[in-house]
Amino acid sequence: MCAICGIINFDGRPVAEPDLVRMRDIMVNRGPDHGGLWRNGSAGLGHRRLKILDLSPNGNQPMPNEDESVWVVLNGEIYNFPELRPQLEACGHRFRSTSDTEVLVHGYEEWGEDLIPKLDGMFAIGIWDTRRQQLLLARDRFGKKPLYYMQKAQTLLFASDIKAFWTLPNIQLSINFPAIDCYLHHLGVTQRHAIFKEISKIQPAHYTVFNQHGSRTVRYWQQSFVGKLNLSEAEWLEQIEAALQAAVKRRLMSDVPLGAFLSGGVDSSLVVAFMSKVTNRPVKTFSIGFQEQDYSELKFARLVAQQYQSEHEEIMLQPEVISILPSLVWEYGEPFADSSAIPTFYVSQAARRFVTVALSGDGGDEMFGGYDIARAAWHAWQYDRFLPRVIRQPLEKFLLNHPLPDRNRWLHKLKTLAVHASDDPAIRHSYSMAFGPAQRQRLYTPAFSAALHGQPAREVYELCQPALTGLNLVDQHLLLTILTRLPNDYLVKVDVASMKVALEVRSPFLDTALAELSGAMPPEIKVRGGRQKYLLKKLAERHLPRQVIYRRKRGFALPLEHWLRRDLAPLLRQLLPDGRLVQNDWFNKAEISRLISEHQNLTADHTHRLWALLWLELWHRMFIDRTLKPTDSLSEP
């Protein structure tokens, strides 16, 4: 795991080395073990290294081929490099290291752009071809590793962290208002936007080739949900077990200590179970808990740790959010309001004392239908299949556009079905919004609304529509989550929180082969009878205690609702009603005050909305005003 950056001047101007060094070293936390730099006239690459494979200097980057016509920088891991290396050696390529990066060097020599679809891993890659004078930037299939770029006249800059552009004195950046609209909807800036207008992101499962004449982008993979396999339940369980065990085993390659996050849920517990089966020593496991018992899952994590005799560490999280919030706002670089970033950071910090690599259960819900939305989608699918459209459409129109009596739970259930069966993906995912369209309209001033030029948050869903066409409702919901919430929120959360402490996190459930197997599962068995993760839980019965498998899902969440009414309440009142978001004429003071008041008075739960506003306010003070520093204390008035 590392950080990469580069500057290419296609007009032939020499690269300024101080700029390249600034870009590289602002990302030092992502790669504290070595800082590499290569500059040759109009091209320059930078690299910060966290040593995982081949700890010798032979693994340092930027890494060239023998005649230095190809230069590579990699952030991440290529899990199938042991299979690719013999193929390249058979073609005559000679290796001088045991690093996965060198497979990219010789793979590009041999296959060119066709190298990228052959890769299985988590990665952001930059390849500079000196002969062709072209740069290739690529990201992994799900977007586990970030990659930003910026084009300014004949200059192209790229980096793993948006702060690498922000730190350059000769770069002027301006706020991208549509990105803020998406942030308030999704809790994070989407992959289709960056918080600054001048910056873009390489999309997951894409690569782009740049030269002096322009750029060309290729999508090299899309998870398929067609071509379902007709297998029995027993056959499915054998297939899943084999695929998951192989995915875990692939992610155990490491020349440094390795462990696992153990939340006490099915996904992370299965990862620990398979790690224990394929290693000959106890697994190091790490769990986090809270004083508020409703949010703590430590007792379930202990059951799994005891069963597999892991070397188990527990962290009890106190509400000391104020002390670390500025440093997290700095680390994320863009506004990011998923509050589970905080426990993710703390468990990463604890794990880093013992290991450099940790496996996680991320991706299990997306692959096997684990969210509430998957269960709702299954019921909506039945509603869609058996209620004629001529009846359904006017009923949906009424339910979606009229307030319903609070006590009529049957009408509310029917409305839920109507929402999840809607032909409009934005409506189907409306229940997962922080600020819905009407709430954002009340929040925005006329000036801010005018700056949006449309409905950016909605457009994110519209861009996904072609991939959803022809799929059943369950698969549509799962794929839409994979295309939006997974790369925009969950993967960003884990990547940044863990890399803040130089910990590499690997996700077996996001293995390519396992994902393709998941896409081939019929929804009737994946979410059988509306039961979330039906097949995965059946598999878990072979390996885990039943009380771990069949219990209410809590997720990796903070007791933030209570903290915002107690410990954090003064901070809200201090920063938000008269803060930058109001002073800039973006948001209405009266609406912000109403949200705070209703939350404090227990009239409504505005946890996610208030947290999103607080983070955005702090982000503005740090990155626009430059008055807030990562080390500042927020407890002082």
Q: For residue 140, how many other CB atoms are within 10 A of its CB?
A: 25
pLDDT at 184: 95
pLDDT digits (tens, 9 = 90+) for 68-95: 999 999 999 999 999 999 999 999 999 9
Residues 185 and 250 in one domain: no
pLDDT digits (tens, 9 = 90+) for 448-470: 999 998 888 878 888 888 888 88
Alpha-carbon distance of 76 to 160, in angstroms, equals 11
Question: Checking DSSP bridges between strand 258-261 and strand 357-359, what pairing results, if any?
Answer: parallel
pLDDT at 376: 66
Percent of the chain topping pLDDT 90: 74
Alpha-carbon distance of 264 to 161, in angstroms, equals 32
pLDDT digits (tens, 9 = 90+) for 91-109: 999 999 999 999 999 999 9
2 among known catalytic residues: yes
pLDDT at 468: 87
Residues 20 and 127 in one domain: yes
**Is 637 a domain residue?**
no
Position with higher pLDDT, 460 vs 425: 460
Alpha-carbon distance of 370 to 334, in angstroms, equals 28
466-493 residues labelled b (16+ CB within 10 A) or e (exposed) = ebbeebbbbbbbbbbbbbbbbbbbbbbb
Residues 531 and 433 in one domain: no
Edge to edge, what strands does the sheet with 199-201 contain? 34-40, 43-49, 2-9, 155-159, 148-152, 199-201
For residue 636, what pLDDT band results from cuts at 50, 70 and 90?
Answer: very low
Residues 90 and 170 in one domain: yes
Amino acid (one-letter) located at 463:
L
What's the mean pLDDT in 152-177? 97
Residues 478 and 488 in one domain: no
Q: Among 432, 465, 482, where does a domain finish?
A: 482
**Is 326 a domain residue?**
yes
Position with higher pLDDT, 415 vs 32: 32
Task: Tell me the pLDDT of the chain averaged across its residues.
Answer: 90
**Is 228 a domain residue?**
no
For residue 637, what pLDDT band results from cuts at 50, 70 and 90?
Answer: very low
The residue segments making up the domain with residue 582 are 560-624
pLDDT at 600: 93
Whether the predicted pLDDT of 317 surpasses 80? no
pLDDT at 388: 62
Alpha-carbon distance of 122 to 142, in angstroms, equals 8
**Is 633 a domain residue?**
no
Q: How far is CA 34 from CA 24, 99, 173, 220, 635, in A?
A: 11, 15, 29, 32, 36
Active-site option among 2, 5, 182, 464: 2
Q: Which two tokens stand for residue 616?
A: 């955005």
**Is 47 a domain residue?**
yes
What's the mean pLDDT in 366-394? 68
Percent of the chain topping pLDDT 70: 88
For residue 194, what pLDDT band results from cuts at 50, 70 and 90?
Answer: very high
Position with higher pLDDT, 186 vs 122: 122
Residues 45 and 156 in one domain: yes
pLDDT digits (tens, 9 = 90+) for 387-416: 666 666 676 666 655 555 555 566 656 666
CA triplet 114, 115, 119: central angle to 5 degrees? 125
CATH of the domain at 287: 3.40.50.620
What's the mean pLDDT in 525-552? 90
Alpha-carbon distance of 11 to 32, in angstroms, equals 33
Residues 109 and 41 in one domain: yes
Q: Among 461, 482, 503, where does a domain finish?
A: 482
Per DSSP, the three-state class of 39 is strand
Whether the predicted pLDDT of 493 surpasses 50? yes
Main-chain dihedrals φ then ψ at residue 76, nearest 5 degrees = 130, -160
Alpha-carbon distance of 486 to 460, in angstroms, equals 13
CATH of the domain at 23: 3.60.20.10
Whether this prediction's pTM lies above 0.85 is answered by yes
Amino acid (one-letter) located at 52:
I
Alpha-carbon distance of 423 to 480, in angstroms, equals 13
Q: Which two tokens stand for residue 167?
A: 């730190």
Residues 301 and 263 in one domain: yes
Residues 478 and 495 in one domain: no
What's the mean pLDDT in 162-170? 97
**Is 630 a domain residue?**
no
Residues 382 and 354 in one domain: no
- By the 8 A CB rule, do 373 and 420 touch? yes
pLDDT digits (tens, 9 = 90+) for 256-308: 999 999 999 999 999 999 999 999 899 999 998 877 656 568 899 999 999 99
Alpha-carbon distance of 175 to 196, in angstroms, equals 5
Sort 323 into a burial class: Cβ within 10 Å, 0-12 / 13-18 / 19+.
exposed
Per DSSP (E only), the strands in 310-367 are: 311-317, 357-359
**Is 181 a domain residue?**
yes
Residues 33 and 155 in one domain: yes
- By the 8 A CB rule, do 523 and 307 touch? no
Alpha-carbon distance of 77 to 467, in angstroms, equals 28
Tell me the three-class secondary structure of 96-134, residue by residue: CCCCCHHHHHHHHHHHHHHHHHHCCEEEEEEEEECCCCE
Residues 472 and 507 in one domain: no
**Is 274 a domain residue?**
yes
Q: How far is CA 249 from CA 20, 102, 246, 309, 351, in A?
A: 37, 22, 5, 19, 20
Count of the separate structural domains present in the chain: 4
Edge to edge, what strands does the sheet with 258-261 contain? 311-317, 284-290, 258-261, 357-359, 504-506
Alpha-carbon distance of 101 to 81, in angstroms, equals 9
Q: Among 428, 460, 482, where does a domain finish?
A: 482
